[in-house]
A and B are shown apart, each in its own frame.
Chain A
Amino acid sequence: MSGATSEQLAVRAASGDVMARRCFGELVERYHARLFNFLLRRVRSRHDAEDLTQETFVRAWNRIRSYNPTWRFSTWLFTIGSRLAITHHRRSRDPVGGNVVEGLSERAPSERRARGGIWALAAACLTPEQHEAIWLRYVEELAIAEIAMVMNKSQVAVRVCLFRARQALAERLPAPDQQDVDAAPRVAAALAGGM
């Protein structure tokens, strides 16, 4: 079962046979940390992110029969998670995806942010929407169409969002002195000086 793709496992889980629950357990194991880290950037606390992760998996299990295998399972799962995060923000009346996440906040010490490199810069200077698009593109490696599905936007809007995010990062990233140098010290300098 461990050799099966996530999509195969999801289809098996949707079939409702005796192995369905076990297949879904395997999916939980595969995506738990990834979904948690994605949601951690959308909500303000670790506790809320864990609650949302749990809620996302329960909802996915209840609606596994509506999963369409033409889409990647991760796309479907992250779409559910993203919708739940929006609902969570509406309930708590907070702006969507504030950057004040425990352990990742812009108030964290600069040396800690420097370790995150470009991602710390992204968390500090991008809008929540841009950060979500960047995360889905470069961490989850989703295609533009898949990001559009997760964010409930058109593909053009996603492309524009990604372009603006990269532009914002490029403007804040200091010019390289050497071509092959590691960017971490430059990012640290940008975070310490420019924010």
Chain B
Amino acid sequence: MGRQHRGSRSRSRHAEVERLLSRTPPPWVDPSPDAAASIERSIDEATQTPIPIELPWLRQTRWGGLVAAAVAVAAVGAFTYVIGHMSPVPTSAPIALSLAPERPLVVFPAESVVTPGAQAEARAASVASRVGRPLESEMELVRRDTQRAVGQVFSRLPIFEPR
């Protein structure tokens, strides 16, 4: 009975406080008369100065920073996963630039670097002094090696696995 009485009294006091808060105007302080003009001036100045770049989609979400951090971590993880699966490049498939030393493209005579006259001679005779395959064949070899290397790298990725 006593508890009920206390509860009822408490509720009535709360209601009275609520009534007073709703009806009583708060002490109001008028801002200084030139404050509004000062605000307008500041806004005009802000309009003329460039606005820094923002990412509004980050600010609109409550957890924008967390989402951005999670995306960054996921991106780094994906990059690391792909790189981890791409390397090391298989040694059985040499990439195009590793041409075999026994197949040099062009060989200049040793004396061609000694005198200008000999250089001219060597330049004229360079086609004749080429050893091994002709240039077109070398390029074809390079292209084939590259295709093979790229094919092997991509075949290691799960999305390129044959079903």
State the A residues within 8 Å of B (CB): 21, 24-25, 28-29, 32-33, 36-37, 40, 46, 50, 53-54, 57-58, 61-63, 65-66, 68, 103-104, 115-120, 122, 134-135, 137-139, 166-167, 169-170, 173, 176, 183, 187
Q: What residues of chain B lie closer than 8 Å to A167, measured between beta carbons?
A: 10, 14
Contact in complex: A53, B35 (CB < 8 Å): yes
| Least Cβ–Cβ distance between B152 and chain A, in angstroms | 49
Interface of B is mostly: helix
**Does B27 touch A at the CB level, under 8 Å?**
yes
Residues A32 and B39 in contact, CB atoms below 8 Å apart:
yes
* B24: contacting residue among A103, A104, A117, A170, CB under 8 A: A117
Q: Which residues of B contact A63 (CB under 8 A)?
A: 54, 56, 59
A24-B43, A32-B36, A58-B46 known; A120-B21 Cβ under 8 A: no
Residues of B within 8 A of A (CB): 10, 13-14, 16-18, 20-22, 24, 26-32, 35-36, 38-40, 42-44, 46-47, 51, 54, 56, 59-60
Centre residue among B32, B38, B40, B56 by max chain A CB count within 10 A: B40
Give A102's nearest chain B residue, CB to CB: B29
